[in-house]
């Protein structure tokens, strides 16, 4: 789960997701959970891009944040 941009750019992308896409991050998490069982990061990014017409940066930010939430769930 490697980002190809700085943490600051990532943070800015995440902050703009709701206004740019019309959905909150939690809504995107549900979409990912209910979507196809794709295990690779880039597969999930490409699926979001093609299904929801997202930019690469938006899709990457959503999947990255989703993976962080999933990892945190496993720790608790």
Chunked mean pLDDT (size 10), the chain, 76 residues: 74 95 97 95 97 94 94 76
Cα separation, 26 vs 18, whole angstroms: 10
Which region, left, alpha or beta, applies to residue 55 given φ > 0 means left and ψ of -120 to 50 means alpha?
beta
Is there a domain that residue 30 lies in? Answer: yes
Is there a domain that residue 2 lies in? Answer: no
Give me the number of domains the chain comprises: 1
Q: How many CB atoms lie within 10 A of CB 66?
A: 22
Is there a domain that residue 31 lies in? Answer: yes
Structure pTM?
A: 0.87
Question: For position 3, what pLDDT does the model report?
Answer: 59
Cα separation, 52 vs 14, whole angstroms: 16
Domain boundaries, position 18: 7-75
Is there a domain that residue 1 lies in? Answer: no
């Amino acid at each position: 789960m490697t980002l190809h941009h700085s943490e600051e750019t990532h943070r800015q992308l995440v902050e703009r997701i709701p206004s740019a896409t019309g959905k909150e991050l939690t809504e995107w998490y549900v979409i990912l959970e209910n979507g196809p069982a794709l295990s690779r990061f880039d597969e999930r990014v490409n699926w979001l891009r093609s299904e929801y017409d997202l930019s690469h940066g938006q899709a990457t930010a959503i999947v990255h944040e989703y993976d962080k939430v999933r990892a945190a769930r496993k720790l608790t």
